[in-house]
Structures are given as structure tokens and as C-alpha cells.
Amino acid sequence: MTRHLAELNTGRLLVPTDDPKVADFMSNLDRVNGLGKRMPGFVWMMEGSGEPGRGNTDAKIDGDPQFISNLTVWEDVESLENFVWNTVHKQFYDRRAEWFEVMGDMHFVMWWVEAGHKPSLDEALGRLEYLKAHGDSEDAFGWAYLKQAHHWKSKSCGEAVAV
């Protein structure tokens, strides 16, 4: 059985998606997501409305129009790590405080899926809740759980995201 790595990253924008304060973030969603889709090891991404410049910002969590998510599947840890930490994505990650609230709770989770499986947002949110309740396990984990993940330690990933 071949397994792939699924990841969910959630965040709450400081302002609505059409506010000028998040214009730089919104105007680069297609660019960054498009790069991710072309990266070696990319498998799948949950898509939004398809409207240019919206990314997946239309998939709301708990009906909150400012709570957005990114759900992807990768062949392996190294492929995801390479995209997150070694591409233009890192520049936007470093600017996240300009656009997103500081999350008090864990807002990032990874887990293994069978090749070909496309997780739903509900499934991913369930994994996130599992991680919050039980900590790292084979069912749900953060960067620190993955022995083969190294970049998060040196590329400014806060412990709240790593665990």
C-alpha cells in the first residue's frame, strides 16, 4: 500500500478577503497555489470556486467568512517540505502576521492517506481535532513528529505549528 501525506492548514484573516489590508495575500494565491501544483511530489489540492484570486477562500469553517483553509496531498514529507520552505511560499509564510490572527489553538495537521484518496474538509478538520485532543500520533501529527522533516526547525516555524 502506497501512502501519501495529507496536510490541512487553517487560519483566520484579520479582515474580509476584499479588504485592501489582505490584497497582497489574495492577489498572490493563484501564483503560490499554481507553483505548488507544479512541484515534484504534489498530488492534489482542495479547490475553491475557481474564481481568479480567490484560492480556496470560499470553503468556510464554521460559516466564518474570514476562516480559511488549505488542504493538500503530497507524495512524501520531503516534497511538502520543499514547497513550504524552499519556494516563494516561504516569503508569504514569513508575512502571515500581516494577514492572519495569531491562533491560540493548533491550526495545522498532517496525516497519512492511501494513494488516490482525496480527503474532505470535514475529514481534515476531524484530524485537527484529534491532534488537539490526543497530541501527535500516527493518526494526526505536526512537523515535529516526522523524523524526516528538518526544514521547519530552521525556517521560522513556530512550535505551535510544529507540534
36-94 tens-digit pLDDT: 999 999 999 998 655 555 555 666 688 888 888 999 999 999 999 999 999 999 999 89
pLDDT at 147 over 60: yes
Burial of 72 (0-12, 13-18, 19+ CB in 10 A): buried
Cβ contact 105:55 at 8 Å:
no
Cell readout for 102 is 495569531
pLDDT at 98 over 90: yes
How many whole angstroms from its chain centre is CA 40?
A: 17
Least confident of 7-21, 65-79, 143-157: 143-157
The beta strand positions in 46-150, using DSSP E, are 67-74, 108-114
Give the per-residue pLDDT at 57. 61
For residues 106-127, give the mean pLDDT.
Answer: 95
State the number of CA atoms in the 13 A half-sphere of 77 facing the CB: 16
Give the per-residue pLDDT at 155. 53
pTM above 0.85, yes or no: yes
For residues 138-158, give the mean pLDDT.
Answer: 74
pLDDT at 157 over 80: no
Give the per-residue pLDDT at 160. 40
Give the per-residue pLDDT at 150. 64
